[in-house]
């Protein structure tokens, strides 16, 4: 079993996405600053916690609907392509771009592998 295909990985990432959704909904200052840096429009910001909460639910679907969990990792891959693009567009620092690029690589790899099948 690979960490990329483990339901525990999906669960851990779901918890991370859920926490990130809460922090975006508040919003905490460092997230607001990061969104300002990448010039995220104000009208998009209220949607981000909803998208992140939905992704957490999608990742947790790995237990009953592994296909939906894989679709969720594909959607998160696209999300992080856009995030990395936003960082590059504004010439943000490497330190601020690396987390988004890391999640992009992680979710792309998870999409390619798919979740481990139950009993397999």
Using alpha carbons, select from 80, 56, 53, 79 the residue that is nearest to residue 68: 56
Q: Is 60 exceeded by the pLDDT of residue 120? A: no
pTM score of the predicted model = 0.93
Q: What is the pLDDT of residues 50-97, one digit of tens each?
A: 999 999 999 999 999 999 999 999 999 999 999 999 999 999 999 999
Q: Which helix (H) or strand (E) holds 84?
A: helix 66-89
Tokens representing residue 56 in the block:
């957490």
Instruction: Please give the C-alpha separations between residue 84 and each of 63, 80, 81, 95, in angstroms, as whole numbers.
Output: 30, 6, 5, 12
What is the Cα–Cα distance from 70 to 14, expressed in whole angstroms? 13
Compute the mean pLDDT over every residue in the chain, rounded to the nearest whole number.
95
């Amino acid at each position: 079993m690979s960490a990329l295909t483990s339901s525990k990985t999906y669960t851990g990432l779901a918890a991370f996405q859920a926490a990130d959704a809460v922090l975006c909904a508040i919003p905490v200052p460092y997230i607001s600053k990061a969104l300002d840096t990448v010039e995220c429009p104000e009208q998009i910001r209220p949607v981000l916690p909803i998208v992140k909460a939905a992704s957490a639910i999608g990742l947790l679907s790995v237990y009953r609907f592994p296909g939906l969990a894989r679709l969720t990792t594909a959607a998160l891959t696209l999300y992080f392509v856009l995030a990395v693009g936003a960082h590059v567009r504004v010439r943000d620092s490497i330190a601020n771009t690396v987390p988004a690029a890391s999640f992009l690589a992680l979710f792309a790899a998870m999409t390619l592998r798919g979740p481990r099948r139950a009993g397999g």
